Structure 1
Amino acid sequence: MLRNFFIDCSKAANCCDKAQYNEASRIEKLKMRLHRFFCERCQNYTKKNTKLTKLIRKANLKPCPEEEKQQWRKKIENELSKSNSV
């Protein structure tokens, strides 16, 4: 039964990422905490991930609208086609 609570580093990182965005279940959070208790590497990953999330929130970044992305893609494709024809 207790074996079900031990996860590997990749699953712990995934749980950490989900927890940052409040998408992790209670069981996932518990598994992640248990894993971090024993794994220094994942402790460091969690600290860095938390710091990154705080910096992103503080920067108040907004996603780029899809229309603008399409315009950029067209410009890039045009520039690439110009440079390839030279």
Structure 2
Amino acid sequence: MTKRKSLFIDCSEAAFNCDKAQYNEASFYEKIKIHLHILLCKPCKNYTKKNTKLTKLIAKSNLKTCSEDEKKVWKEEIKNQSTK
């Protein structure tokens, strides 16, 4: 594959690389390919904007998850109440 062809990617690869970039897992080369693609593809540009906004909102919301112990306690409580 020539260098020119390897810089242009399809929409599914652009979306995948966009997702990787949101989690800082994309390489520099992948980020360049994303930027080149979204310059030419309006739907992918919109996807990237929405994905960036979603990532920022999730980070801003300061979500917390339950520990495994808490989940076990809740499951037991649900089980006990459903048998009554």
TM-score (norm 2): 0.79
How big is the alpha-carbon RMSD for the aligned residues of Structure 1 and Structure 2? 2.3
SS of alignment partner, residue 62 of structure 1: coil
The answer to whether structure 1 residue 5 and structure 2 residue 3 are counterparts is no
Query: Are 2:47 and 1:45 aligned?
Result: yes
Segments of 5+ residues of structure 1 without an aligned counterpart are none
Aligned residue in 2 for 1:56: 58
Q: Distance in 1 between matches of 2:73 and 2:37?
A: 45
Unmatched 5+ stretches in structure 2: none
What amino acid sits opposite 1:32 in the alignment?
I
Deviations along 1:40-70, one digit per CA (max 9) or x if unpaired, are 0000001001111111111011233233344
Q: Cα–Cα, structure 1 residues 73 and 38, in superposed 2: closer, same or farther, change >3 Å?
A: farther
Q: Amino acid of the residue matched to residue 33 of structure 1?
A: H
Which amino acid in the other structure matches residue 13 of structure 1?
A
Matches of 2:53 and 2:36, distance apart in 1:
21
Q: Secondary structure of the residue that 1:43 maps to in structure 2?
A: helix
Q: How many residues align?
A: 82
Could you tell me which amino acid in structure 2 is paired with residue 39 of structure 1? C
TM-score (norm 1): 0.78
